[in-house]
Amino acid sequence: MRKTAVLALLAALVSTAGRAQVSPNSRHFSRPERDGSVVTAPWTRAELRYQYWDRGYAFLLGPSVALPLFRRNVEIGGRGYFVYFDPERATDRGKPSDIDLWGKILVLDDPLLLTVGGLVTLPTGSKKIDLPISSGKANVEAFSALRLYVSRYLALTAHTGIRYNDNIGKGEERSRGKFSFGYGGGAIIQATPEINILAELNVETERFRDDDNSISLTGGFEYLLGGGLGFNGGLSVGLDRGAPDFELIAGLNYLF
């Protein structure tokens, strides 16, 4: 089943026919800040995610927001979720996640866009919910991101970053945090003026000692409804134990 899903995601890349440039406001599912572009106006995304892990399942519901500053050369943003996680022997299932706040600056512009930035995690999440987005500790991250317009209807993306992860847990259940390294890339294809096809591969080394790498392949679509409103739908497949086995994603984007 997993191999079939991977092939289906890769097949999305063969879509052709486009008539307008991919918008800088079209962002990948996983980490919208890891993009070389800066939003052109205040942007928000409300998401519902269903994740299946080998130790349980989770529902995530919450917003992401981004704002352009200084003539669209700077972007600031944030993200947070309410998490319901149902593993075996859970004592704390429904809690808010950590909150991510980021800022980045545009260094190079069209056709090769380059941004560099940083992210800080506010420790608002529960320490008892065993997910990467809910450590209950403050973490920091530095990253850079590229977007290359190959044509008016194809944008390629790439990113790299380093993150410091604080220790979590106590006593025998304590996990020592370490520096993790992230990288990946993807494509945004404008199949029609209303439909974008998105595909991305994301890799992050283990955040804690004796943990697992997070590797995921994600694909889906964005349907532009008009008036600044758009709908996203996607599927992510985990390729290592640090990522969910699979994830279903639905979201609404709005550009003010």
CATH for 153? 2.40.160.40
- What is the mean pLDDT, run by run of 10 residues, along the chain of 256 residues? 56 43 93 96 98 91 97 96 80 84 96 97 83 87 97 96 89 81 98 96 94 96 96 97 96 97
Residue whose structure tokens are 């500053």: 69
pLDDT of residue 131: 77
For residue 82, CA distances in Å to 85, 126, 148, 218 come to: 10, 10, 34, 22
- Tokens representing 151 are 């044509």
Q: Round to whole Å and give the CA distance between 127 and 97.
A: 10
Provide the phi-psi class of 136: left if phi over 0, else alpha when psi is between -120 and 50, else beta. left
Q: Which residues contact 1 (CB under 8 A, 6 or more apart)?
A: none
Q: Which domain holds residue 45?
A: 2-255
Residue 246: beta bridge partners? 52, 237
Count of domains forming the chain: 1
pTM greater than 0.85? yes
Whole-number pLDDT of residue 174: 76
DSSP secondary structure string, 185-240?
EEEEEESSSSEEEEEEEEEE--SBTT---EEEEEEEEEEEEETTEEEEEEEEEESS
